[in-house]
Amino acid sequence: MEPRIGLLVFPHVQQLDLTGPYEVFHLAHGLTVDLVWKTREPVTSTTGLVFTPTRTFDDCPPLDVLCVPGGAGINRLLQDTATLEFIRRQAEGARFVTSVCTGSMVLAAAGLLEGKRATSHWAARDLLAAFGATPVAERVVRDGKFITAGGITSGIDFGLTVVAELLGQVEAETVQLGLEYAPHPPFDAGTPASASPDVVATARQRTAESRATRERIVGELRPEWRGADQ
């Protein structure tokens, strides 16, 4: 039977967090991929693209790989009992439990990353420590069966990593070639360490509201946490 991958889809998901690995998984020969949510009603991403779930929490079979993307919508998921229970239930038997970007915060809120090394988008990575995880500034981090990816575009790196684990390196490289994935960005501004101070300041300003909301939620979930610098 083909390994089954389920990607959580939810209102205000960051579409590239979802579609990056989704594209990788679908190009691979030998995987079954579903979009999973509470209902099959279409959901709208942060950028307005609409996705239709193919499975619900109730009819989703046991998954070999569970993946939680990130986006503004994770703020609600951090306190969403039904979603957290679904993740815990699927995580028990999954071969890999994974995330892209701020999706790792949802895994952490479900109690799955305590004592684990994990990553997230640079603007939220430190918040993982409130849930007992060890934040790591890398594109893809594996700790046992948990694989977490950094911000947004790292979802493609993550997808290829998972394909290699499930189907072998040759299949992963074949998918990479099919995607012509040979990134060579025009600017060296992809991380706070490489971007200019002015660019970093602007980026932080644009995420300040979401950051404040997440800090409040994390403070409610983990009252002992006092926050930290990004």
Q: Which residues are catalytic?
A: 101
Q: Is the dihedral of CA 146, 151, 152, 158 positive or negative?
A: negative
Q: Which of 157, 110, 105 is nearest to 135 (CA)?
A: 105
Per-residue buried b or exposed e for 159-181, using 16+ beta carbons within 10 Å of the residue's own CB: bbbbbbbbbeeebbebbbeeeee
Within the chain, residue ranges assigned H as helices are 15-27, 74-77, 81-93, 103-109, 154-167, 169-179, 197-206, 208-221
Which residue in the block uniquely carries the two structure tokens 């479900």?
110
Backbone angles phi, psi at 100, to 5 degrees: -130, 135
**Beta-carbon-side half-sphere exposure of residue 68 (alpha carbons within 13 Å):** 30
**Beta-bridge mates of residue 43:** 51
